[in-house]
Amino acid sequence: MPDAKHASSVHRFAAFEINLHSGELRKSGMRLRLSGQPFQVLAVLVERPGELVTREELRSKLWLADTFVDFDHGLNNAVARIREVLDDSSDAPRYVETIPRRGYRFIAPLTDLRPTAGPASAKLGPASEITRRQASAPSVLPTEKRPIRRRVLLGGVAVLALFTIILALYRSSAAKRTTHPAINSLAVLPLKNLSGDPGQEYLADGMTEALIGYLSRIHDLRVISRTSAMHFKDSSLAVPEIARTLRVDAIVEGSVIREGSRIRVHAQLIRAATDEHFWSETYDRELREVLALQSDVAQSIARKVEVTVTGKEHERLTAARPVSPEVYESYLKGRFAKGNNRAEIEESIAYFEEAIRKDRTFAPAYVGLADAYDSLGLVFIGVPPGEVRPKVIGAARKALELDPELAEAHVRLADVYQKTWRWSDAEAEYKRALELKPNDPSAHLGFASWLLCRGRTEEALRWAQRARELDPLGAIGSGTGGFCSMRADTTRLCTSCAARWRYGPTMPWPSGILDLCSPPKVNPRKRFRFWKGRFLYLTAAQGSSVCWSGPMPTPGDARMPFGSSPS
C-alpha cells in the first residue's frame, strides 16, 4: 500500500501526467493511448516509485490466480507497450527499469499533484478543506457554551450543502457526456483565402492540405482526404449537410490571410450533429514558421476533440522546422499546379526543382518531385515509364534520407516496386506508409491493389472499402472497390462502386466496371475476356503490374503482355 507521500491519484514525471483514478496518461496535455494491463502495470509501478515490484507481485495483483502459461508473455508485452508509449528504452531506461529475473522499478522523479489529506478530503475536495480550516480556527465564544444542538444542526447543513454541490457537478458532467458524443471522425474544409489576392489561393489550399496531413497521422481519428474535402470549396451547403455527406462527427473551417512576411490562420471546430461552434482560435506567425503554425493548429484540434494520441504520434504532430518563405512558395506552386498534360506537369517539376535549389534539405519538395515524375510516366501523358522511374525512385529515397517518416515517399516507392514486381519490397513500403499515416487513402488503395495482384481478393476489398471511407467522393477509391468486388463476384457492390464515379465522369473505367456487372447482352465469358484484355493493355502500356487470376508471372515470362518484363 502506498505511503502518505504518494497517496495522490495524479502524478507527474517529465512531460507526462498519469491519473490513477481516471486511468488516463497524458503528455504535454495530450492524452496517450495506454489502457488495460499495460496501464495497470504502470500504475502499480508509479504507486511505488524507486521500489522493486516483483513479477510475482504483479501476477497476484493483475492476473487471475490460475494464469500461468500466458503470464510471462502478457507481462512482457505490457512492459513493451509502456516503453513504446513513453518512448523509453530497456537498455538505457529513463522511466521503467528491468531488474533481470526479478521484476521492475519506476526510476523517474515523481511529483504528486492535488495531494490529499485523507479519504474524507479526497471525496470532498476543496470544500472539505474549507470546512476543516473553519473548524480549526479560534472560536469567539467559549466552546463549552455553544449549544450542542446548534453545532449538530450546522454540521448537518454543511454536509447537506456539500452533497448538493457534488451531486450538481456530477449531473452537469453526465449531461455533457450525454449531449456531446465522442468525435471519432472529422473533415477539414478548404480554408478561405482572405488576402484579397486570388494569386494567394495556393497558400490557403496548402494550409488545408497540411492540416489534413498532420491529423491523418492519428490512428484513432478518421480524417477525410483532401480530394473529397475540396469538393466543398466555396460551397454554400450547411455544415450538417456536408458532415452527413462525408459521414463525420465534426468539421474544421477556417481562413488564411497573408500580410507581407506574416501569415494569420483562423480555425474553428463545429460539431456536426448540432452545428455548434465549440472551439475557435487565431494564430499569427512569421511565414518562415508556417510549418510550426500548422503543427500547433493540428495539436489544438486533436486536444479539443479529445482523441487518443500515442507517444510516437505526438512526436510526429510536433515535428516542424523553419522554412524560408521563398522555398515554401515554390513548393506550394509546384504542389498545386495543374497536372492535366505534359506541359503542366513539367511546370510543377520546375517549381519543385526551384525549391530544392533554394533548400536542399526540404524533404517535402523531393516527395513532390517524385509524384510529378510519376505523373509524367502515366499512359496518357506520353513519357515512357522506364525513363522516369529512376527519377521517381531517386527523389523518393532522397526525401526519406532527409525525413524517414514521410509516408508519401514510402507510398511512391511502394508503387514503383509493385509495378516492377518487387512484391516484398512493395509490401514493406505500403505497410510502413500505413503505420505512419493511417488515414492516407493512396496507401490504402495501393495496398488493396497489391493484395489483388497477389490473389487475396477479400482482403483487397476490405482495404479498398477503407479507402472509400477516407475519400468518399474520390473516383479512384470507388473504382478500385468495384474492380475488387467484380473479382470477388459481388455484383451488388460492384454496381454500387461504379455508380460512385459520378464524381469523376471523365475517367475511362466506370463504364467498363458497370458493364461487367450488368445483365449480359453477349456471352459473359467473351465479355469478360474483352474487358480483361483492355485492362492488360492499359496496364502494360503504363508499365504497371498486371493482376492475374492464377500465379503471378516472373519477369520475362511469356504470359507478360508483349513478352517483356516491366522496366
- Smallest Cα–Cα separation from 61: which of 15, 118, 1, 129? 1
The CA radius of gyration of the chain, in Å to the nearest whole number, is 30
pLDDT of residue 113: 75
pLDDT tens, position by position, 77-95: 788 889 888 988 877 889 9
| Assessment of whether the complete model's pTM goes beyond 0.85 | no
Question: Which DSSP string do the residues of 118-130 spell out, in sequence order?
Answer: SHHHHHHTHHHHH
Q: What is the pLDDT at residue 513? A: 43
C-alpha closest to that of 379 among 545, 567, 542: 542
Whether the Cβ atoms of residue 30 and residue 305 lie closer than 8 Å to each other: no
Q: Which three cell numbers stand for residue 223?
A: 480524417
What CA–CA distances, in Å, run from 333 to 261, 287, 321, 353? 17, 15, 20, 11
| Cα of 56 vs its chain's centroid, Å | 38
Return the closest-CA partner of residue 359 out of 391, 338, 331: 331
- Among 549, 487, 486, smallest CA distance to 514 is for 486
Longest dimension (CA), the chain: 110
pLDDT reported for residue 117: 43
In this prediction, residue 114 carries a pLDDT of 59
Q: 78 by DSSP, 3-state: which?
A: helix
Residue 18 is predicted with a pLDDT of 92
The residue written with cell numbers 500505413 in the block is 434
β-sheet bridge partners, residue 187: 251
Residue 171: per-residue pLDDT: 60
Q: Extract the residue ranges of the chain whose pLDDT is less than 70.
A: 1-8, 64-70, 73, 114-157, 168-180, 379, 475-567
What number of other Cβ atoms are within 10 A of residue 170's Cβ?
A: 10
pLDDT at 147: 57
494: its cell numbers = 460492384
538: exposed, middle or buried (C-beta count within 10 Å: 0-12, 13-18, 19+)?
middle
